[in-house]
Homo-oligomer: A and B are copies of this chain.
Amino acid sequence: MGEFDLIQQFFQSRSRELFPSFHADGSAAFAQIVQGIGDDCAIVQPPAAMQWAISSDMLVQGRHFLPDCDPYRLGHKALAVNLSDLAAAGAQPLGFTLAMALPAADAAWLAPFSEGLLALAAEHRCPLLGGDTTKGPLTLSITVFGQIPAGQALLRSGANVGDDIYVSGCVGEARLALDVQLGHVPIDNPVLRQHLIDRIEMPQPRLALGQALRGLATAAIDLSDGLMGDLGHILSASGVGAQVVADAVRQTSTIWHDPQLAAWSLERQNHYGLSGGDDYELAFTAPASLREQVAHAARQSHTPVHRIGQIVAGEGIELRDAHGNALPHAIRSFDHFNE
């Protein structure tokens, strides 16, 4: 199968089904797409008074995913990690481009890959606009576009002293899943094992929460490299410090009630939530006066959020136990070139 055939078969035709320009009644479905896949550029008509949010992420085989990774799940995850950046900005998806290097034009791999990718795209009304296909070591590079009412983007730089610090969902589970996948941690309970594998392979971008937090959150980031490191980006961009309660982070996840894991030391359990990456949850800050509104945004977006600490003057993160005692920590963010 040639390059143009495979684009046509697995991406262009299916995208046209999923993302028609017009509904059956003739009303505009995705009126912003003037020209989609199949020209030198995609042409998009932006809605008035909206700003654009743009983000790019690249996934490399052997680095971001294992060679035997299920292609449907890989398609899902490749887009999910990009949508997560839109979520962290409070943006609503508009579309994405996909550039990929493939070792071969393998229909048995491309069919489920494109299915997983486009299923998530359809769920979030985020049409595939175009891209590039070439031969090479399996590499997926996605750029996503979203829209935000002018001035309402959630940035990393707005956290203020006294703000609460929150995370969505459960942090640390994806990192434990990696240890399970690599065979470092055997898990006896098959339900727990599958839950963990789902958490690393099928992350759910928190788009509804991100949009619900516009006007409430003072700063936000998505958790890709680990809480301590990613929260550190908010702190340095905002010129503030943080106190984080380790127990509150651990308690975002119920997996520690499993008898096998409950037998671990607290320090070992805490490690996952504090420094584990790949969660694609949101960490954000909001004034303590807005706790009720934040809880409402969480309910409205069907997304659990947990308060894990607060912003203080100074810099860096002070880690505390449940009794307010300082805990030592030497946790840094994941860095592809310093491991």
Counting chain B CB atoms within 10 Å of each CB, the highest count among A42, A104, A148 belongs to A42
Q: Is the CB of B38 within 8 A of A237?
A: yes
How far does the alpha carbon of A38 sit from the alpha carbon of B89 in the complex, in Å? 12
| Interface residues as binary, A133-145 with B (CB distance below 8 Å gives 1, 0 otherwise) | 1111101010101
Q: List A39-57 residues whose CB lies under 8 Å from chain B.
A: 39-46, 48, 50-57
Question: Nearest B residue to A62 by beta-carbon distance?
Answer: B136
Pick from B42, B48, B58, B102: contact of A134, CB under 8 Å: B58
Q: Is the CB of A137 within 8 A of B137?
A: yes
A133 and B336 in contact, given A85-B40, A155-B39 (Cβ under 8 angstroms): yes
Q: Is the CB of A41 within 8 A of B150?
A: no
Q: Is A217 an interface residue (CB 8 A)?
A: no
Residues of B within 8 A of A202 (CB): none
Interface window among A2-10, A18-26, A177-185, A297-305: A2-10
Q: List A57-76 residues whose CB lies under 8 Å from chain B.
A: 57-60, 62-64
Q: Is the CB of A99 within 8 A of B58?
A: yes
Q: Is the CB of B54 within 8 A of A153?
A: no
Question: Nearest B residue to A6 by beta-carbon distance?
Answer: B337
A97 and B44 in contact, given A38-B237, A60-B134, A137-B136 (Cβ under 8 angstroms): no
Q: List A316-339 residues whose CB lies under 8 Å from chain B.
A: 333, 335-338
Pick from B97, B156, B221: contact of A56, CB under 8 Å: B97
Interface window among A124-132, A193-201, A251-259: A124-132
Residues of B within 8 A of A220 (CB): 40
Q: List A73-119 residues whose CB lies under 8 Å from chain B.
A: 85-86, 88-89, 91, 95, 97-102, 104-105
Q: Is A222 an interface residue (CB 8 A)?
A: yes
How far does the alpha carbon of A54 sit from the alpha carbon of B60 in the complex, in Å? 23
Q: Is the CB of A89 within 8 A of B40?
A: yes
Q: Is the CB of B143 within 8 A of A143?
A: yes
Q: Is the CB of A48 within 8 A of B45?
A: no
How far does the alpha carbon of A131 sit from the alpha carbon of B55 in the complex, in Å? 7
A contact residues vs B (CB 8 Å cutoff): 1-4, 6, 34-35, 38-46, 48, 50-60, 62-64, 85-86, 88-89, 91, 95, 97-102, 104-105, 129-137, 139, 141, 143, 145-146, 148, 150, 153, 155-157, 220-222, 237, 333, 335-338
The 8 closest A-B CB pairs, nearest first, are A141-B141, A60-B136, A41-B53, A58-B99, A143-B143, A40-B88, A105-B337, A56-B97
